[in-house]
Amino acid sequence: MASTDVTDAIAADLLPNRPLAAADYRTLALAALGGALEFYDFIIYVFFATMIGQLFFPPDSPDWLRQVQTFGVFAVGYFVRPLGGIVMAHFGDVAGRKRMFTLSIFLMAVSTLGMGLLPTYATAGALAPVALVLLRIVQGAAIGGEVPGAWVFVAEHVPARRVGFACGVLTAGLTVGILLGSLVAGAVNAAFAPAGIAAWAWRLPFLLGGVFGLASVQLRRLLEETPIFREIQQRKALAAELPLKTVLRGHRGAVVLSILLTWLLSAAIVVVILMTPALLQKQGIPLPAALAANSVATIGLTIGCILAGALIDRIGAGRFFLAGCLLLAAAVFLFYTRVGAEPALLGPLYGLTGLCVGVVGGVPFVMVRAFPAAVRFTGVSFSYNVAYAVFGGLTPLVVPLLMAVNPLAHLYYVLALCALGCGIGLWLLAAGRG
């Protein structure tokens, strides 16, 4: 891994140091709010996975097959992320960050609204799951441009010494989308009986997400193009060739580092936050209690991302990931080994674990600083989306299969990625990155 790819010198094109201004906070607030609504749209599916499996696949299918099919549709959204991300990032590096930032949320809103209006298997037969897959593809393409685009957008609006904080706030906004999903799922399950949810109430979270997503498109129109993109546009310093070609030829080390960090991020989010409510049910914990604890964990994650962004600005990436991943490993070990035997500790332990998962708030700090402005959107998007397609997409499928062999397979998987994060921290320290 060439060190010239991933040193702070590449971040020299970020804005000079200055205090955060009112315009910076406004940009962060609008970007984070829009990101929260879009991420809600992307993940609300997983909170209703059991019901969707019953409604959109043959009723005589074995439970294990229906679960694999349901999570397979969820995984489709991850598998198509690279394509959507690469296309949007290409135009983001050529035509502007803001345009793609707005397009991504529009596509997400329309596809989520469409999911809420879909006929079920009982009405449309095999066409129902096919339509579900197609809309999930659109969602995946949209989120593929949203997350890296949002990180680049806020990083290029704030001074260089506050890039970590800005990316942490934006990532916290994305996690608020998970919290909204958990709260809405909990409210629907509390307000309606299972028969009512199956009949029509499962549609409400998708319709709500689509409507609010369309409203957030208007919020994105209030944002300004990033100063850095305007500058390179004025200097005619845009990539002279296909941005992806430049990234793959000249910044392979940055790509590898970003892929490994995204693997850590995906393991923490997908397993600890998204899959754990379903895993807790298998341990005999009722769904309402699991969802309530998940909300506590997601609040902890939101706070943790902001703290992580502020901290990484101060101590550097190396020290941050070494310490943060050790804390995360300790927290997940304590949570998964104790909560089954002591259900009263569910809320506190899950909240602490969510706070430690906030280490992922430091991931975009490294990624946006690893690529020069002319190809930054493409570099971050390609690395993040390829890694998330592979690791984020396969995790919901592989972990349940591994758990059939070892009930704590999900814990060991997360611990292995924590070890990887510690290794990255040590490498960054050796490379002079704190």
Q: In the numeric block, which tokens belong to residue 139?
A: 């969602």
Predicted pLDDT at 39: 82
Predicted pLDDT at 4: 43
Dihedral, 405, 409, 410, 414 alpha carbons, nearest 10: -150
* Cβ(264)–Cβ(420) below 8 Å: yes
pTM: 0.81
Predicted pLDDT at 260: 96
Name the residue among 266, 265, 258, 267 with its Cα closest to residue 414. 267
Model pLDDT for residues 56-81, shown as the tens digit of each residue: 998 888 887 887 888 888 878 877 87
| Host domain of residue 272 | 3-430
- The domain that holds 419 is classified in CATH as 1.20.1250.20
Predicted pLDDT at 128: 93
CA 51 to centroid of chain Cα atoms = 23
* 3 state DSSP class of 15: strand
Q: What are phi and psi of 172, to 5 degrees?
A: -60, -40
CB proximity list for 353: less than 8 A, separation 6 or greater: 272, 297, 300, 328, 331, 332, 334, 335
DSSP 241: S
CA distance 156 to 226: 6
Residue type, 64: W
DSSP H or E segment with residue 33:
helix 22-47
Name the residue among 190, 177, 178 with its Cα closest to residue 288. 190
Domain count, the chain: 1
**Residue 293, number of CB atoms within 10 A of its CB:** 26
Predicted pLDDT at 237: 45
List, run by run, the mean pLDDT of 10-residue segments along the chain (434 residues): 45 61 78 82 85 89 82 81 76 67 83 94 92 92 81 83 91 87 86 90 93 81 65 52 80 94 92 88 83 89 95 94 97 92 89 96 94 86 87 81 88 96 94 72
Burial class (CB in 10 A: 0-12, 13-18, 19+), 96: middle
Taking each helix axis from N to C terminus, what angle separates 49-56 and 22-47, rounded to the nearest 10 degrees?
A: 50
Predicted pLDDT at 56: 92
Task: For Cα atoms 387, 393, 394, give the angle at the middle one, nearest 5 degrees.
Answer: 100
**Residue 208, number of CB atoms within 10 A of its CB:** 19
CB proximity list for 74: less than 8 A, separation 6 or greater: 45, 46, 49, 136, 396
Residue type, 121: Y
Predicted pLDDT at 3: 41
Predicted pLDDT at 214: 86
Strand partners, 159: 15
CA distance 132 to 120: 9
* Cβ(13)–Cβ(235) below 8 Å: no
